[in-house]
Amino acid sequence: MAAHSDQFKRTRARRLWELKVPREKNVRIWTMDEHCYGLISHQRQCWGMRRVRPHAPYRTKYDWGYLATALEIEGKDEGLCVFFPAVNKEVSECFLEQISKTDPEAVHVVIQDQAGFHFKTGAGEVPANVLLLPLPPYSPELNPVERVGSLIRTATGNRVYTSLDSMEGAIEKELRPFWTDPKRVRRLVGDSWIRTQVNVISNCGIAHY
């Protein structure tokens, strides 16, 4: 799949251009994904005293939820996160609506993977001001939102939660800066190829904030 990833990197600017966004519209480009979290404890490395093996609490309870996250590339550098009880077509439609409503007058280009519950371009359930750009199969390294999973593990690792509400509170506290500080979103996305190609499109005539 490395060849598909390399090809996507090389052709992403052209793919964005081929979406044929009306020139009179402002364009906002997002990358999105979903992350699962649950009450089965997540154990991770931690600091401890020398020659003393640290012990982390552990609990097995099969209860989980999902966090849908979208990060804007360039523009306003906004972050959008919504908790959902499941992932399916209805949830995907709801989250795309949330992205759409952040700026109803703009066109939102959403980059996403090809999970079975994600819509394809042209689906009737997709909001009129949302365009979809699929990632190649099996290429999580192309999506900066994958890094949110590490933040979730940081917030919940080596801890026991009695309910999903309490776990979601810890996750929300960890991610709140991404809703309020555009610089944090920019750092998470990074100055990689994905930002460079968005800037190429902007310079070629597609306007974004």
Residue 132: predicted pLDDT:
93
Distance CA(49)–CA(52), nearest Å, equals 5
| pLDDT band for position 17 (cuts 50, 70, 90) | low
* pLDDT value at residue 200: 59
Question: Is 157 contained in some domain?
Answer: yes
- The domain that holds 83 is classified in CATH as 3.30.420.10
pLDDT (tens digit per residue) in 151-186: 999 899 888 999 999 999 999 999 998 888 999 999
Domain encompassing residue 100: 11-17+25-42+56-203
Closest CA to 69 of 94, 99, 95, 32: 32
Question: Is 133 a domain residue?
Answer: yes
Residue 99 forms part of a structural domain: yes
Residue 130 DSSP label: E
Please check whether residue 117 lies inside any domain of the structure. Answer: yes
> Looking at the domain assignment, is residue 49 inside a domain?
no
Segment 88-98 mean pLDDT: 96
Our count of domains for the chain comes to 1
**Is position 134 within any domain?**
yes
Asked if the structure places residue 71 within a domain, the reply is: yes
Q: Is the pLDDT of residue 202 over 70?
A: no
Strand order from edge to edge, sheet including 130-134: 79-84, 64-73, 27-38, 107-112, 130-134
Is position 67 within any domain?
yes
Residue 28 has pLDDT above 70, yes or no: yes
pLDDT at residue 12, rounded to an integer = 66
pLDDT over 50 at 209, yes or no: no
* Most confident of the following: 53-57, 132-136, 197-201: 132-136
Handedness of CA 89, 92, 98, 104 (dihedral sign): negative
Is the model more confident about 193 or about 111? 111
Instruction: Compute and round to an integer the Cα radius of gyration of the chain.
Output: 19
